[in-house]
Structures are given as structure tokens and as C-alpha cells.
Amino acid sequence: MAFTTYSAEFQKEKTSRSQGHELHVSPKHCVEICRELRGKSLAEGKSYLEAVTKMETPVPFKRHNSGIGHRAGMHGWDAGRYPQKAAREILTVLRNAEANAEYQGLDTEQMFIVHSLARRGRVIEGRMPRAMGRATAKNTDTVTVEIVLQESTNGD
């Protein structure tokens, strides 16, 4: 596992950050979830991911939406899905960022998600044996997710 740096720099006094390296989830699902999380408060983000995991709230798929069906209860967009596995992994990273904020002495009630990003990690190559001595590639995509929380000042 290679060390990757964060893609953005923020004030260290008022921010908390966390990364998940080489998570075995879909990169496309993580991109859509991270886009939805950006700008939400910490409590809103956690409740949103828990609702996606329980299949109560769909994630709008705005970029990777070819062949995706419509979901009821979505406002402003039609196509969506319930990426439960990706939501669970991103929720773990979000809880880790919250724990980092508590350790730094920041007020977790005033934290909001200022930066969330998903980018492709390395591809773990695999083979599936076939008949006649052949083999088919069975690769596993990985994702690196980074989340930065920032403490709100004066009700921003």
C-alpha cells in the first residue's frame, strides 16, 4: 500500500481529516456518494449514509447513470441507487474523521464536511480458470476515499 497525500490543504487548527486506502468497493459508487456528502454537516452526513445502508434514501447518480433506473423520493434528479457496501466503507472513514476531531479537541457538533473525494486506487489482478487451459481476468478495483471536516465559526 503506497502512501498518498491529500489532494487539498486546509487550516490544521480547525480541520480534521481521514483517509481510507484501497477500499474494495466500486469507484463509481464512491464518487457519487462523496459528491452528495460535500457541504453537509457531520450529523447529516452520518444519518444520510446510514439511511443509504438501510435502503431508505437513494443516492442520485448524476455522472455514472447509464442504464440506472429511477427512484421514488428523489428531488431534482431521477436516476439513483442504494450503494450499501460503498456507503458502509465511507461511513467508517467519516467516523474516523469524527474521532480525529474529538482527539484534537474540536467541537463535533459544529463540524461540516468541507472536502470529500474518491479516486481510483490500484487494481488487484486476479485470474479465473476456464476450460481448455485458458483463464479470464478477474480484477478487483480499489478506491482511496478522503474526507476533511471543518469546524464552523459563528454559525457559518
| Residue pLDDT, tens place only, 5-58 | 888 888 889 999 999 999 999 999 999 999 999 999 999 999 999 999 999 999
Query: What single string gives the DSSP state of each residue in 65-114?
Result: -TTPPB-TT-SS--BEE--HHHHHHHHHHHHHHHHHHHHHT--GGGEEEE
Cα 81 to Cα 33, 55, 132: the distances in Å are 10, 9, 39
Cα 85 to Cα 112, 128, 136: the distances in Å are 23, 23, 25
The pLDDT of residue 1:
57
pTM: 0.90
Q: Report phi then psi at 95, rounded to 5.
A: -65, -35
pLDDT digits (tens, 9 = 90+) for 98-115: 999 999 999 999 999 999
Topology of 15-151 in CATH? Ribosomal Protein L22; Chain A (3.90.470)
Looking at the DSSP bridge assignments, the partners of residue 97 are none
What count of residues does the chain have? Answer: 156
d(CA 85, CA 30): 10
Q: Specify the pairing of strand 135-137 against strand 15-23.
A: unpaired
Identity of residue 31: V
Lookup: cell for 128: 479465473
Could you tell me the residue ranges of all domains in the chain? 15-151
